[in-house]
Structures are given as C-alpha cells and as structure tokens.
Amino acid sequence: MDLGVKSTPYTSSNASWKSAADAVPGRFPAGLKVLVVDDDPTCLRILEKMLKNCLYEVTTCNRAEVALNFLRDHKNGCDIVISDVHMPDMDGFKLLEHVGLEMDLPVIMMSADDSKQVVMKGVTHGACDYLIKPVRIEALKNIWQHVVRKKQHELKDKDLEHSGSVEEGDRQPKTYEDADCSHSANEGNWKNSKRRKDEEDEAEDRDDTSALKKPRVVWSVELHQQFVTAVNQLGIDKAVPKKILELMNVPGLTRENVASHLQKYRLYLRRLSGVSQHHNGLGSPFMGATDAQFVSMSSLNSVDLQALAASAHIPNHSLASIQAAALGRATSKSPIPLPLVDQRNIFNFENPKLRFGEGQNESSSKQVNLLHGVPMNMNSKQLSSLHQSALSNMNMHTHPQTSQSSSLMMQMAQLQPQLRPQNLNDIKGSRNGIEIISGPQYTSHPKPSTSADFTSQSKDFSGNKAFPLPCNSGMSGAVMKGSRAFLPNYDVLNNLNQSRNQEWRMQNAGSSFGLPQHSSIQRGLDVSSSLGESRILPANKASLSLVEGHGNTPNVSQHLNFPAYDKSLRSKAERLPGMGFQNGLLHERFGQEDLMSALLKQQQEGMVVPVETEFGYDGYQLDNLPV
C-alpha cells in the first residue's frame, strides 16, 4: 500500500493474521500487525527489520498524519502502534492521543530522550509502553503483550457491563487460554479465538448484534457526540451501555463497543477531575455537589481550551500544546487516552450555534470537538450535564466571539448533539466577554471588555447554560467556562463553568485575562466571594460557594482590581507549568473571569481583564489532522 507508507504485505482482513499464524503454527504472536511511525529513516529501517525478525507484520510511516490516515482507512489493519516522540509534523503524544481515542489501539512511544518528564508524559497520555532508543530487538519481541492486555481489558469491560451472563466469565478464561496456548488445534489464530468470544458475547447479549467479526469501532466525532448525548440524557450515574446503545441507535454498534468506550470516558472524566482536584487542591468541602461540576469543568477545560483555541483561531500547535499541557497535567490518573480532539473537530464550530448576544467570533464556525473521541466516562453527573450544556451552548450558534466561550460549549455541543439554545438567551446581553487568548495571537488583543455571561450551573448544565463568551474575533476568550474546560490547568474555567448560573461579566478588553496560571477555581471563587459580588452571582450561593471552593481565578488576579485577591488566589492557584498556553488560552479561566469581571465591574467600570496565559507554548504542534 502506498500512502507514503512502506509496508510488508499487508491485508486488512483477519485473513492476513490468520494466514500468518497458520503459516507458522504455534508461533503466536507472529503476524501481529505493527505500525511504526518515525521521521528518522535510519531508525525506521532498523525497527522494521527488527519487527520483521519477530515475525510481525510491519507497516512503516515517516509522518504522523499519514499514519493516522492509514489507521483510519484500515480499521483492522493494525494491532499496535509504535511512535517516536519527536517528529516534525506532529508531536508523538498528539498522535498517541488520536490513536487512543479514535482507534483505541495500544501505542508504544519511543525516544532517545529518557528523561523522567518525557516518560511520564507518555504515561499520562496513555502510552502503554515507552522505549528508549536505541531500541533493542528484545524490547520489541514482547510488544504483543500490550495487544493481548488491551483485549483482555476490553473483554472484561464487556463482562462488567454485561447484564450478567455467567458464561462470559467462563468463556473468558477459556478464550485466553486459547490465546496463550499457541498450539491449540483450532486456536492457532489467537485473534480468532478472541473474536469468537466476542462474537459469542455479542450474539448472547445483543439483539442488534453486528457482524460476526468484531470490527474495531472508530469513535468518530459524530459518534462520540451521540454517545455523550446519550450518556447525558441518561445521567452519568445511570448511563449503562445497553441504554446508551439504545439511545444512540447506531446500527452495527454493539453494547461492548459502548461499554468499553464508556469505561474510557469515565476514566477520562475521572482523570480530569482528579487533575483538577489535584491542582486546585480542592478540598472535600467544595467537592460535594460541585465536584462533579468541577470535574467536568476540568475536563471541559481542556476541551474548552481547544475549542477556544479553535475559535480563537489559535494556531494549531498552540492548541495542541495547550491540550497537551492540559492533558499532561492530568497525571494522577492512569493513562487514559487523552481526548485528543481532532483539530478539525475542535475548530469546527458549525454546530454550536451559540447565540451570544455579542458578536460571536467566527470561531463559532468551527466546531470544536474537543471531546471527540474522548473515551471519557463522565464520572459525574455534572460532567454530563456540563457536556450537555456545553453542547447545547455550542449548538447555539454564536457569533464568533461568543463562540469562543462557547467553544467549550461547542465542544460540549459536539459531544452532545442536542443543544438547547436557552442558554443563549442569557448570553444575549453579554458582550465579548472573555477573550481567550490563545497563544501569541491573542495576547495583544485588546478586546472591548465583554461580559461573558456564563450561566454555568453545575447542576443545570444540561443545556441551559449558555456561555456567552464574548470573544472578540476569533478569540474565544472565554473558554467555555460553562463547558468545563477540560484542561485541568484551567481550573479556573472549570470552576467557573461549573458554577452556576452566574453571570460573569468579563471585561475583556484586550484580550488577555491575566490568568495567573492557576486556574484554581478556588481563586476565582475567592475573588468573587471576596468581592462579595453577588450580583454576578445572582446565582445560588451554591455556585458561589463552589466558586469559592475552587478558588480559581488566576485570571482575576490579573485584574488590577484584585491585587489582593490575586495573592490569595495565587496561593491557591496552581501553576500549570506544563501548560504552554498563552494568555489567550486561558479562556478557560473564562468562567472565573466572567465572575471576576462581573465583580470587577462593580469596582471598576470598564475594567478590562486581560487574559494572559502565562504558559508558554511548549511547542506542541497541533496539526490539522485530516480525518
């Protein structure tokens, strides 16, 4: 196959695997399909030879985008991916995320760089292994274990989700045995045996079962949106695969597919919330009812960030970096594939028609689908609701500017096709609230202060929040706070979003909110509370408290008005060192900013909250991945 991809005779069907296995009976894992991505031709050649010597089927690629296209075009064409970390066209971690989200394949990272941070990054991004170059053949001999392990987990997931078929459990060990027993008569093809089990599973518990062969499901943007919508409809706690599947009503999708995706989704959400919590140091008090929101905010933050970035026309790489940073921050969780949202998704604001009163920036035209392919599990209702609201917000088409804020929302919207424009009404009056400055572009945006009305109500997220992100052109300054940025770093945003229906007036004069990087929501909350701003938070005290709890507001700190607050906030704020976000990106903080801005307004008319992200870009290249 020639997509600039050199490959050994490759067939996408099982047949190749089977024949390879049959050809060398008892030699599992021979025939394992490996895709190697490395821009260094010397390394690529060596790896190819090594893998061939391991009797694997090798496809090589020197560009990440080509590799992704290959994977997308050949659904069963690959069992495992090995990728270099440093590549010119796309960062290896980004590729890792994409693969994890879209194709759910195990990915091994490799690099000559053996520093702890990089290895950790691999872990947090969901790599199943990390090899140090120069790679030895011994290291490659055992990569099949990652494939088996993953399959095992998937089957286990199915088991868990399964409505209780005892047989499954019985079958499982048997299947695995078969897999391991390379000389079993029928099971020369271990994969087949697994498939068989899958088939049995499917036949057993699914009425609308798919084909005999269990094809790998690609969780496209749309599919994921449907998924998230369904999850939100059911409520994150009540979302069971069967029901989700029914709601989604996608032919050919099996409960198992949904189950494993749900698991990932939950892990993702958990991770995001965990990161936020970690970063914000949110104490339990705040997490009560709000954690979910909070978590969702975190999760959304990253999404928002991207969305905002997208809307803000953030250069791809900055978005990527932000995302990477955001994702990278989520360290506590197990390697969950980061919801790598296709750039195009992110920048795809079409759907979200956020109706922001203000001029919505063109970003709205891009739908940000940060959550695309994110196998996250909303571990909290809030998250679901956030998503919903985000989506709803997103659906509301807003002007480009607002779209920024809605970028988050959009993302959510993407996740959830149903948008409720109701929120938009709230936003109507908002002026470009927050400008999300993503990276350099926004830093110098002096945007008219806009007030973003973020009606983020943690509980009410479902589509009621319109996060008016008055973003000036392209700057989704306010990351959809409402939508809970997924960026853990932007706790602020999270907090804000989660919050409540408060109206955040973001004075976004120019564009950058001084976001003191710590998006600790707490800060924001502190600020708001300190400001005693109730008008901004007409909302429930709950939200306020939430805000307080989160104390985010690094952004606010930037406000001159809150120098004092800054300090207090700062203390809580967490640094997001990894975030290479520029001020513009702090749109996430957006929520907080809004709040703050509202508060600030009181104090100072026409205060502009510059959103400055203190994060420098860490050089991730966010490429537009053609899908």
Partner 1 sequence: MQRQLANMKQSLFDQGYLDEQFIQLEELQDDANPNFVEEVVTLYYRDSARLIQSIEQALEKSPLDFSKLECLMHQFKGSSSSIGAKRVKSECTQFKEYCRVGNSDGCKRTFQQLKKEYATLKKKVEVYFQFARQIGPVEKACRSK
Q: Could you say which DSSP state residue 585 is in?
A: G
Q: In whole angstroms, how close is the CB of 121 to partner 1 at the nearest point?
A: 15
Instruction: By CB under 8 A, tell whether 136 contacts partner 1.
Output: yes
Amino acid letter at 605?
Answer: E
Residues of span 374-393 touching partner 1 by CB under 8 A: none
Q: In whole angstroms, how close is the CB of 23 to partner 1 at the nearest point?
A: 16
Backbone angles phi, psi at 366, to 5 degrees: -100, 135
Contact 300, 480 (CB under 8 A): yes
Q: Please, which residue, 123 or 139, has the CB nearer to partner 1?
A: 139
Separation of CA 250 from chain center: 22
Q: Please, which residue, 46 or 289, has the CB nearer to partner 1?
A: 46
Instruction: By CB under 8 A, tell whether 135 contacts partner 1.
Output: yes
* Of 50, 258, 324, 521, the one binding partner 1 by CB under 8 A: 50
How many whole angstroms separate alpha carbon 410 and alpha carbon 77? 33
Residue 486's CB is within 10 A of a number of other CB atoms, namely 47
Q: In whole angstroms, how close is the CB of 627 to partner 1 at the nearest point?
A: 28
Instruction: By CB under 8 A, tell whether 55 contacts partner 1.
Output: no
From residue 75, alpha-carbon distances to 11, 96, 148, 449, 625 in Å are: 11, 16, 18, 48, 17
594: nearest Cα among 486, 489, 392, 450? 450
Instruction: By CB under 8 A, tell whether 86 contacts partner 1.
Output: yes
Longest CA span, the chain? 80
385: nearest Cα among 264, 543, 237, 544? 237
Q: Please, which residue, 135 or 330, has the CB nearer to partner 1?
A: 135
- Checking phi first, is residue 31 left (phi over 0); if not, alpha (psi -120 to 50) or beta? left
476: nearest Cα among 621, 620, 386, 367? 367
* Of 13, 15, 53, 563, the one binding partner 1 by CB under 8 A: 53
Instruction: By CB under 8 A, tell whether 5 contacts partner 1.
Output: no
Q: Which stretch binds partner 1 (CB under 8 A): 7-15, 19-27, 127-135, 286-294?
A: 127-135
Q: In whole angstroms, how close is the CB of 397 to partner 1 at the nearest point?
A: 41
Q: 142: Cβ–Cβ under 8 A, 6 or more apart, which residues?
A: none
Contact 256, 158 (CB under 8 A): yes
Q: Please, which residue, 22 or 39, has the CB nearer to partner 1?
A: 39
Instruction: By CB under 8 A, tell whether 6 contacts partner 1.
Output: no
Position of tokens 């079993």? Answer: 184
Q: 541: Cβ–Cβ under 8 A, 6 or more apart, which residues?
A: none
Instruction: By CB under 8 A, tell whether 112 contacts partner 1.
Output: yes
481: nearest Cα among 582, 366, 591, 398? 591
Q: Please, which residue, 40 or 167, has the CB nearer to partner 1?
A: 40
Q: Please, which residue, 41 or 169, has the CB nearer to partner 1?
A: 41
Q: Please, which residue, 485 or 622, has the CB nearer to partner 1?
A: 622
Instruction: By CB under 8 A, tell whether 111 contacts partner 1.
Output: yes
Instruction: By CB under 8 A, tell whether 45 contacts partner 1.
Output: yes
Backbone angles phi, psi at 269, to 5 degrees: -65, -40
What is the size of the binding site for partner 1 (CB under 8 A)?
20
* Of 4, 14, 19, 40, the one binding partner 1 by CB under 8 A: 40
* Of 13, 23, 25, 49, the one binding partner 1 by CB under 8 A: 49
305: nearest Cα among 99, 517, 572, 158? 517
Instruction: By CB under 8 A, tell whether 134 contacts partner 1.
Output: yes
Q: In whole angstroms, how close is the CB of 44 to partner 1 at the nearest point?
A: 9
3-class secondary-structure state, position 469: coil
How many whole angstroms separate alpha carbon 590 and alpha carbon 491? 10
Instruction: By CB under 8 A, tell whether 212 contacts partner 1.
Output: no
Residue 495 structure tokens: 């907090």
How many whole angstroms separate alpha carbon 85 and alpha carbon 92? 4
Q: Please, which residue, 133 or 150, has the CB nearer to partner 1?
A: 133
Q: Which stretch binds partner 1 (CB under 8 A): 20-28, 106-114, 220-228, 500-508?
A: 106-114
Q: Which stretch binds partner 1 (CB under 8 A): 36-44, 162-170, 231-239, 279-287?
A: 36-44
Separation of CA 384 from chain center: 14
Instruction: By CB under 8 A, tell whether 46 contacts partner 1.
Output: yes
Instruction: By CB under 8 A, tell whether 133 contacts partner 1.
Output: yes
Instruction: By CB under 8 A, tell whether 113 contacts partner 1.
Output: yes
Q: Please, which residue, 136 or 153, has the CB nearer to partner 1?
A: 136
Contact 262, 377 (CB under 8 A): yes
3-class secondary-structure state, position 371: coil
Q: In whole angstroms, how close is the CB of 26 to partner 1 at the nearest point?
A: 21
Q: In whole angstroms, how close is the CB of 490 to partner 1 at the nearest point?
A: 26
Q: Please, which residue, 113 or 237, has the CB nearer to partner 1?
A: 113
Instruction: By CB under 8 A, tell whether 43 contacts partner 1.
Output: yes
Q: Which stretch binds partner 1 (CB under 8 A): 128-136, 181-189, 560-568, 585-593?
A: 128-136
The 3-class secondary structure across 384-433, one letter per residue, is HHHHHHHHHHHHCCCCHHHHHHHHHHHHHHHHCCCCCCHHHHHHHCCCCC
Q: In whole angstroms, how close is the CB of 70 to partner 1 at the nearest point?
A: 22
Class of residue 252 by CB neighbours under 10 A (exposed 0-12, middle 13-18, buried 19+): exposed
Instruction: By CB under 8 A, tell whether 82 contacts partner 1.
Output: no
Backbone angles phi, psi at 376, to 5 degrees: -100, 155
Q: Residues in the site for partner 1, rule: CB under 8 A?
A: 39-43, 45-46, 49-50, 53, 84, 86, 111-113, 133-137
